A and B are shown apart, each in its own frame.
Chain A
Amino acid sequence: MSNATLDGAPIAIEDAYRHAAKILGGAKFPVVAGLATDAAGARAAILLAERLRGAYDHLASHEIFNDLDVTRSFGMFITTPAEARARADVVLLVGPGLTEHWPALFARLALGEPARFNDAAPRKVLWLGPKRNEAKVDGVEIETIAATPQTLPGLLAAIRARVGGRPIALNGAAAKKIDAYAATLKAARFGAVVWSASVIDGLTVEALQGLVTDLNVATRFTGVPIGARGGASSVVQIGGWMTGFPPRTGFGRGYPEHDPWQFDARRLVDSGEADAALWISSHDGEAPGWTRSDLPLITLAPKGAGAARGLYIEVGRPGETHDAVELAQETSSFVLRRAKAPSEAPSVAEVIDAISARFSEDVPC
């Protein structure tokens, strides 16, 4: 059973589905946004956006493109957390707050244990720009250099210069420390840099990958990206195989077009280009970032995250209240998460199917 409200007042679920179908089916250019859901939910949502000739976007697109824009303009060296755990003899952490974005980070990379496949040499751990008191892990010695997200690119450039044997405009203790860092990185047999695109911007990610590229001239080095929130990594992959494109893709012309500016859901809503929105936020009920409040809105969010305005349909939490497939941070692969506390709340895919079944006949299938 699901709960639904219209402008905060309870309505019957059947009426909610009909109302949602009416809003979406009658819209000229609806946007399917948020997209914080599991694989089945993302798939259903993208198919829905195509059927309605609307657009789809993800709530963490900004972070997604910090990584993806580097991949598709420059390239990327990556590895899985499992391989980094088993093989990385040098781990370079970059930026503050990494464990907020991936709480299991230290345990997953087993920073306190030697790398299994590198003759069990103790791992060297470096951290550029941690938060105060953040770089403390039991049994792990961490070499830190203080930096803010603003000063990181300059610091990375200096390290990259020293890795390449080029001079830098620093001296004294600062230069010495950078030289020591560069020496450690170059001496790695299989090094891994860890970053979160929720913390550093695209240019910093590119600087980081530039450093990794340079290190690969003489040794092996790679990267472990920490994916963005809200199932972003799953949605990028699913959009990739369904349409060729990640989020911020529209179907207005009858075929998929990708444009990170044009199909930004927030811009579409605030500019009035979109005339209806389906907001999907099934993990934690995060609210949309747009400011406009007069747009017909359908919110799919878990219990307790009901929307005061527009139509709200309760959905379950993927992997919590129902089985869900998602791209797992710990494996970098799609896995099945069994429900921890199964409930009757429908999944996003089930709700979208129910809405789609109630479209009038003039919406193509």
Chain B
Amino acid sequence: MLTCLSGGHVVDPVNGTDALGDVYFEDGRVVARPDGRKPDVTHDVTGHVVMAGAIDIHSHIAGGSVNTARLLLPEAHRAHKARPAATPLSTAGWSTFQTGRLYAQMGYTTVIEPAVSPHHALHAHLELSDIPIIDKAFLTVLGNEPFVLGSFRDNESPNVVQDYIGATLESTRAIGIKCVNAGGVDAFKKNVRAFSLDDVVPEYGLTSREIFQRMQRAVHASGIRHPLHLHMNNLGLPGNVETALGTIDASQGLPLHLAHVQFYAYGKEGKNGFSSAAAQFAEKINANPNVTVDVGQVMFADIVTISSDVMKQFNSLPGARPKKGVILDAEGNGAGVLPYSYRVSDFFNAVQWAAGLELFLLTNDPMRVFFTTDHPNGAPFTTYPEVFALLMSADKRAQWLSRLPADVVALTNLPAIKREYTIYEIATMTRAAPRKLYGFEDRGSLGAGSVADVAVYKTNEKDRAEMFRHAAYVFKDGELVVRNGDVARYTRGKTLHVKPQYNKTINKRLDTYYDDVYGLSRGMFAVEDAALPAPEAFAEVPCRS
């Protein structure tokens, strides 16, 4: 069936398109305008913006830690509306089912969960399988396991960890590798309470710098397209911009993705010893084209922090709002889950909010700066429309600034920044840039051959938030799934993964290692088809050839 979206404002940065035009798709793929054929269906989208479906590169939507947060906070996810017929569990607050629905309604068609421990891969896949409509994937977390640390300590060939990465990606069916507080999570098990770039992991004699650099090289050498996705040391601490600048200096000129950098944009100025250092950080990002970042914008809301940085989460326990939390020390990496509430009247929270926006506005390349709230750590993903509106309007920011404590306003550059993101830049950071960051060839673009994941928004220059909150139409693989902001049809999306080549002799060594250290068969942790509700719903993302 040939479908035509006619007369919309097509914004497709991958192909340099920013003009009125038509978009055609058939059999789930975008096609060039066919000669002499009449479309079977034409949607008149004049007065609308047409983009590829959005891609969220870092959002905690599934897996053991997210589920721990759900169970920790029964008070946080009440539904208030009965569900419509034919949409099972779509109003179950913060459920997998609702996650798919809410993302689709905003025009998002691919979302990456960024923190799944390899031993909990099957759990994450079971949850992803219950997220309807959108395509999804996860990063698996490596870099604090005794196997990796031991290999680095013993100065083994870099091929060992490279093969370990290949074996782990194969058994977990992940899309890339994240490293969290490199070495710090292991050090915390040895009662180390603070851990910076040049601190040493007891028993291994390795600094965090050495660990992340070696992981970065191993990921690069593995041929997967997504660079090492790094959660740096000292998240959330005053003065931690020094860690971030030091990490960029240590990035070896190789691709490196720094996660939720707003949480590292802090100086020590002012009477509270806490200030925004976003300007300095943005300058550094601008000057280092090998580095990509996502922002992790904070918005004023009740949230829950979900992190594999167990040390950081433990240290944050006294400040939890309300005061409770789960601290999991697990093999290699673990997790910490605690609720929090960002308040506009709270000096520190207001600085965080401003620092995030400064990073968005003072960096100059939307191909390298990604749009995230680190959902749900900075804000729920449902606040994205508000964040888009703030980026696109200096007036709107001024209105918000007027609500902030005066001492915060004095400590940020935000009032002086007049930049307003264009629709084209928004499309770049949410479509074209993620395509490049994950090495997708089939999405993030409206070029012929791309999957027909298309989001259509009714132009609303007065209320950008409303525009992005309820897409007028969303097509997933060519099927109309959202109409006027409501889900019209539930479909099953795919789970995306990578499968790099590696030397399989590592598997034998790992099997022995698991028997020896854990007394368990390593095979127990592998994700097998027989365990999956829909093993056919997987798609491989190519590696570098």
Closest partner residue, chain A, to B335 (CB atom): A78
CB-based contact A242/B95 at 8 Å = yes
A80 CB-CB contact with B under 8 Å = yes
Q: Is B1 an interface residue (CB 8 A)?
A: no
Whether A236 and B123, one on each chain, are in contact in the complex, defined by CB atoms closer than 8 angstroms, is: no
Please report the C-alpha to C-alpha distance between residue A246 and residue B77 in the assembled complex, in whole angstroms: 13
Residue of B67, B82, B86 near A241 (CB, 8 A) is: B67
Which applies to chain A's interface (DSSP): helix, strand, loop or mixed?
A: mixed
Binds A, one of B229-237, B420-428, B469-477, B526-534: B526-534
Q: Does A343 contact B (CB under 8 A)?
A: no
- Determine which residue in B96, B122, B130, B518 has the highest number of CB atoms from chain A within 10 A of its CB, and name it: B518
Q: Is A19 an interface residue (CB 8 A)?
A: no
- Report whether A78 and B328 are in contact in the complex, using a CB–CB cutoff of 8 Å: yes
A180-194 residues at the B interface, CB under 8 angstroms:
189-190
Task: Give A85 to B330 CA distance when docked, in angstroms.
Answer: 11
Residue of A39, A246, A336 contacting most chain B CB atoms (<10 Å):
A336
- Given the known A-B contacts A82-B518, A244-B95, are A258 and B189 also in contact in the complex, defined by CB atoms under 8 Å? no
- A240 near B71 (CB under 8 angstroms)? yes
Let me know if B81 and A336 touch, CB within 8 A.
Answer: no
Interface flags for A345-365 (1: CB within 8 Å of B; 0: not) read 000000000000000000011
Contact count A vs B, C-beta below 8 Å: 177
B287 on interface, CB distance cutoff 8 Å: no
Q: Is B329 an interface residue (CB 8 A)?
A: yes
Which A206-259 residues have C-beta < 8 A from chain B? 216, 219-220, 222, 236-238, 240-246, 253-258
Residue of B at shortest CB range from A188?
Answer: B191
CA distance A245 to B123 in the complex (A): 17
B94 within 8 A of A: yes
The distance in angstroms between the C-alpha atoms of A254 and B42, with both chains bound, is 36
**B398: CB under 8 A from chain A?**
no
Whether B82 lies near A255 (C-beta < 8 A) is yes
Does A7 touch B at the CB level, under 8 Å? Answer: no
- Across the two chains, which residue of chain B brings its CB closest to A323? B530
- List residues of chain B with CB within 8 A of the CB of A330: 520
In the assembled complex, the Cα of A51 lies from the Cα of B86 at a distance in Å of: 9
Q: Which of A219, A241, A328 has the most CB of B within 10 A?
A: A241
Shortest beta-carbon distance, B490 to chain A, in Å? 11
User: Looking at the complex, which one of A108, A237, A328 makes contact with B67 (CB distance below 8 Å)?
Assistant: A237
Question: For the complex, what is the distance from the CA of A108 to the CA of B524, rounded to whole Å?
Answer: 15
Which residues, 28 to 70 on A, are CB-close (under 8 Å) to B?
39-40, 43, 47, 50-51, 68
The chain B residue sitting closest to A80, CB to CB, is B330
Interface residues of B in 500-544 (CB under 8 A from A): 517-520, 524-525, 528, 530-531, 533
Q: Is the CB of A190 within 8 A of B88?
A: no
Is B190 at the interface (CB under 8 A from chain A)?
yes
Task: List B99-130 residues whose CB lies under 8 Å from chain A.
Answer: 119-120, 122-123, 126-127, 130
Which residues of chain A are near B123, meaning CB under 8 Å?
Answer: 237, 327, 333-334
Within the complex, which residue of B86, B146, B188, B520 is in contact with A331, where a contact is CB–CB below 8 Å?
A: B520
Indicate whether A146 reaches chain B with its CB closer than 8 angstroms: no
- B122 lies within 8 A of A245 (CB): no
Task: Verify A364–B85 contact, CB threshold 8 A.
Answer: yes
Asked if A27 is at the interface of the complex by the 8 Å CB criterion, the answer is: no
Please measure, in the bound complex, the distance between the C-alpha atom of A325 and the C-alpha atom of B127, giving whole angstroms.
13
Instruction: Check A333 against B525 for contact (C-beta < 8 Å).
Output: yes
The docked-state distance in angstroms from the alpha carbon of A220 to that of B327 is 11
B74 on the A face (CB < 8 A): yes
Contact of A240 among B70, B91, B533 (CB under 8 A): B70
Of the candidates A72, A86, A325, the one whose C-beta lies within 8 Å of that of B324 is A72
> What residues of A have a CB within 8 angstroms of the CB of B314 in the complex?
216
Complex formed: what's the CA distance from A117 to B204 in Å?
Answer: 11
Report the minimal beta-carbon distance from B57 to chain A, rounded to whole angstroms. 22
Whether A77 sits at the interface, judged by CB under 8 Å, is yes
Known contacts: A244-B70, A255-B79. The answer to whether A79 contacts B191 by CB under 8 A is no
Q: Which of B92, B126, B203 contacts A255 (CB 8 A)?
A: B92
- The closest CB in chain A to the CB of B325 belongs to A75
- CB of B160 within 8 Å of the partner chain: no
Cα of A170 to Cα of B282 in the assembled complex, Å: 62
Chain B residues near A219 (CB-CB < 8 A): 191
Cross-chain contact of A328 among B327, B519, B524 (Cβ < 8 A):
B524
Interface members, chain A 83-124 (any B CB < 8 Å):
83, 85-87, 107-108, 110, 116-117, 119
Query: Within the complex, what minimum Cβ distance (angstroms) separates B514 from chain A?
Result: 9
In the docked arrangement, what's the CA distance between A238 and B92, Å?
13
C-alpha spacing A74/B322, complex, angstroms: 10
Query: A71 within 8 Å of B by Cβ?
Result: yes
Cβ 8 A contact of B519, one of A85, A189, A242, A254: A85
> Does chain A have a CB within 8 A of B89?
yes
CB–CB B64/A333 < 8 A: yes
Tell me if B331 is interfacial: C-beta within 8 Å of chain A. Answer: yes
Task: Tell me, yes or no, whether A73 is within 8 Å of chain B by CB.
Answer: yes
Residues of B within 8 A of A117 (CB): 146, 189, 203
Q: Is the CB of B70 within 8 A of A241?
A: yes
A47 to B78, CA, bound (A): 18
Contacts of B43 in A (CB 8 A): none
List the interface of chain B (C-beta within 8 A of A): 62, 64, 66-67, 70-74, 77-83, 85-86, 88-89, 91-97, 119-120, 122-123, 126-127, 130, 146, 188-191, 203, 314, 317, 320, 323-331, 334, 338, 517-520, 524-525, 528, 530-531, 533
Q: Which A residues lie at the B interface, using CB under 8 A?
A: 39-40, 43, 47, 50-51, 68, 71-80, 82-83, 85-87, 107-108, 110, 116-117, 119, 189-190, 216, 219-220, 222, 236-238, 240-246, 253-258, 323, 325, 327-328, 330-336, 338, 364-365
Given pairs A237-B64, A245-B74, 14 additional interface contacts (CB within 8 A): A117-B203, A220-B190, A222-B329, A242-B130, A244-B93, A255-B81, A255-B82, A256-B79, A256-B93, A325-B122, A325-B126, A331-B520, A335-B525, A364-B86
Offer 8 A-B interface pairs, CB within 8 angstroms, sorted by A.
Answer: A43-B533, A76-B326, A85-B519, A117-B203, A190-B191, A325-B122, A333-B123, A365-B85
